[in-house]
């Protein structure tokens, strides 16, 4: 019998909602849990290097949410969605280590998906070269990361405890507010849109996973979209348009937990932007696309659950020498100088620069048909379009900003073109140089290896 449990948990002083999902005539089981993670302290915000002070208030609360699925053989998968710009490898590993120790979940069974809102807090050492923080602010950052780890682990545990029979279905819709920011000037977008002359690759798909109880009541909705969460750039906490979309879905469907994951939108912006009413409007558009899917024909998930995770040794281009780093450390660009200092400190601590990065690729095969890929970093849209074209558009979902947000991940085309996504942004993440030309093929090859297995 389904039930709801409401309680306040310290030290976050956050609201936690546990919603088991029930349906007696299938072998699937599921449950959700959620917790507010809006910082109470006036912390430094993430996402924009131009910010020069901590947050000053809250526009829309930030949330951590989880959905745990279990098939007839008892195989489980835990999706965790976070209203954050991203998390780094060390925090991701620590969360997954805790989940393995406490609940027996293997690394492949846990997907950590950030919405990439640019109005969330600095999280751990993510974007390490972007911030210049005083000791008190560094303590806030470390404390937030510690409590986030504890909260995520607790939420997954509560969802596991609440597992109950359910039905699961999936389908995709569309929303069209994403714009390729490399190919369209922001100031010209309203006119170009009206004239039907926007250019550049985009991914308008809105994948939707629905969970319903024994009475066919909707209890959980998972959905994604490939577009930066950069409508807002002020000094208030906010989930941006993904936060408004989740809130709209939950407000429209009593008792539902809505979970958002970001697609390959590293070169996509919601345009126009810079206003709260626009964030609300894009959130409504996305929620309406979800509702159209929910009101239409959705394919039932039939079959079992298989999960796979691996790390690709993703190569950098030629590494900088110590002399080059020493020169960088004297740069007039404070971000380049910060990166140079950080890398020199690492070398002086006996940690030589690595020629590769352990890049995460994950696949959940949900039933006989659905293949859900999760890629780390800020992935450009070319990857989603290519993988869906090669593996089947309807049956292939491609999440980005998952498990580790270490840098932008350009396609070979974008890498050759250069620009911010092609290599300029590497400095903010504190990585030594740009990626090597073969990164796209290495990532796609691993995605095929995982998604292609039956």
Kindly report, residue by residue over 259-296, the tens digit of the pLDDT: 999 999 999 999 999 999 999 999 999 999 999 999 99
**Where on the phi/psi map is residue 33: left (φ > 0), alpha (ψ -120 to 50), or beta?**
beta
Q: In angstroms, what is the C-alpha Rg of the chain?
A: 21
CA 443 to CA 450: how far, in whole Å?
Answer: 11
What's the pLDDT band for 254 if we cut at 50, 70, 90?
very high
CA 275 to CA 230: how far, in whole Å?
Answer: 10
Helix and strand totals (H; E) in the chain: 11, 21
Q: Could you give the count of Cα atoms lying within 13 Å of 438 in the half-sphere of its Cβ?
A: 10
pLDDT for 435 beyond 50 = yes
Single pTM value for the model: 0.94
Structure letter (DSSP) for residue 44: P
What pLDDT does 127 receive? 87
What pLDDT does 14 receive? 42
Q: What percent of the chain has pLDDT over 70?
A: 94
Long-range pairs of 331-339 with CB within 8 A, sequence gap ≥ 24: 333/427, 334/132, 335/49, 335/129, 335/130, 335/427, 335/428, 336/427, 338/129, 338/130, 338/132, 338/430, 339/129, 339/427, 339/430
pLDDT in tens, 145-187: 999 999 999 999 999 999 999 999 999 999 999 999 999 999 9
- Encoded tokens for 305: 């659950």
pLDDT for 1 beyond 80 = no
CA 453 to CA 155: how far, in whole Å?
Answer: 31
CA 421 to CA 380: how far, in whole Å?
Answer: 8
Residue partners of 157: CB distance under 8 A and separation at least 6: 102, 103
Residue partners of 348: CB distance under 8 A and separation at least 6: none
Phi, psi of 196 (to 5 degrees): 70, 35
- Encoded tokens for 435: 């990626």
What single string gives the DSSP state of each residue in 207-241?
A: EEEEEE-TT--EEEEEEEE-S-B-S--SSEE--HH
| SS3 assignment, position 133 | coil
Structure letter (DSSP) for residue 319: P
286 vs 122, 276, 370, CA distance in Å?
A: 26, 15, 21
**Where on the phi/psi map is residue 298: left (φ > 0), alpha (ψ -120 to 50), or beta?**
beta
What's the pLDDT band for 103 if we cut at 50, 70, 90?
very high
In this prediction, residues 209-220 reach a mean pLDDT of 91
428 vs 50, 93, 112, 375, 432, CA distance in Å?
A: 12, 22, 22, 20, 10
What pLDDT does 128 receive? 85
**Closest residue by Cα to residue 401 from 112, 73, 190:** 112
Residue partners of 277: CB distance under 8 A and separation at least 6: none
> Which helix (DSSP H) or strand (DSSP E) does residue 269 occupy?
strand 268-270
| SS3 assignment, position 225 | strand
**Closest residue by Cα to residue 268 from 382, 396, 123, 434:** 382
What pLDDT does 453 receive? 55
CA 101 to CA 95: how far, in whole Å?
Answer: 10
pLDDT in tens, 358-378: 999 999 999 999 999 999 999
Length of the chain: 454
CA 311 to CA 329: how far, in whole Å?
Answer: 31
């Amino acid at each position: 019998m389904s039930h709801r449990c409401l309680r306040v948990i310290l030290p976050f002083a956050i609201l936690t909602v546990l919603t088991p999902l029930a349906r007696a005539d299938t072998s699937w089981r599921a449950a959700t849990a959620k917790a507010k993670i809006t910082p109470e302290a006036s912390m430094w915000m993430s996402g924009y290097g131009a910010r020069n002070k901590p947050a000053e208030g809250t526009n829309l609360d930030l949330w951590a949410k989880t959905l745990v699925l279990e098939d007839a053989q008892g195989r489980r998968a835990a999706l965790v969605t976070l209203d954050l710009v991203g998390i780094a490898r060390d925090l991701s590993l620590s969360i997954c280590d805790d989940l393995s120790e406490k609940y027996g979940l293997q690394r492949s069974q846990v997907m950590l998906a950030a919405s990439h809102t640019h109005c969330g807090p600095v999280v751990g050492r993510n974007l390490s070269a972007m911030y210049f923080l005083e000791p008190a602010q560094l303590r806030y950052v470390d404390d937030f990361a510690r409590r986030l780890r504890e909260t995520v682990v607790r939420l997954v545990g509560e969802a596991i405890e609440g597992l109950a029979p359910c039905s699961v279905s999936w389908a995709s819709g569309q929303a069209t507010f994403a714009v390729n920011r490399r190919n369209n000037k922001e100031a010209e977008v309203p006119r170009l849109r009206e004239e039907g002359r926007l250019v550049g690759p985009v991914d308008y798909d809105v994948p939707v996973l629905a969970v319903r109880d024994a009475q066919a009541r909707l209890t959980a909705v998972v959905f994604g979209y490939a577009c930066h969460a950069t409508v807002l750039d002020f000094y208030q906490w906010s989930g941006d348009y993904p936060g408004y979309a989740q809130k709209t879905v939950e407000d429209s469907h009593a008792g539902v937990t809505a979970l958002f994951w970001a697609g390959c939108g590293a070169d996509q912006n919601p345009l126009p932007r810079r206003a709260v009413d626009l964030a609300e409007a894009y959130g409504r558009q996305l929620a309406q696309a979800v509702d159209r899917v929910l009101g239409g024909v959705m394919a039932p998930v039939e079959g079992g659950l298989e999960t796979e995770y691996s790390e690709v040794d993703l190569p950098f281009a030629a590494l900088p020498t110590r002399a080059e780093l020493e020169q960088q450390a004297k740069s007039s660009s404070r971000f380049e100088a910060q990166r140079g200092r950080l890398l020199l400190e690492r070398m002086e601590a006996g940690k030589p620069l690595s020629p590769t990065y352990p890049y995460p690729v994950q696949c959940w095969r949900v039933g006989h048909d659905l293949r859900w890929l999760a890629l780390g970093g800020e992935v450009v849209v070319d990857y989603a379009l290519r993988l869906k074209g090669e593996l089947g558009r309807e049956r292939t979902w491609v999440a980005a900003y998952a498990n580790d947000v270490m840098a932008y991940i350009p396609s070979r085309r974008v890498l050759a073109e250069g620009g911010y996504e092609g290599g300029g942004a590497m400095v903010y993440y504190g990585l030594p140089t740009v990626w090597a030309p073969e990164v796209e093929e290495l990532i796609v090859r691993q995605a095929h290896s995982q998604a292609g297995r039956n």
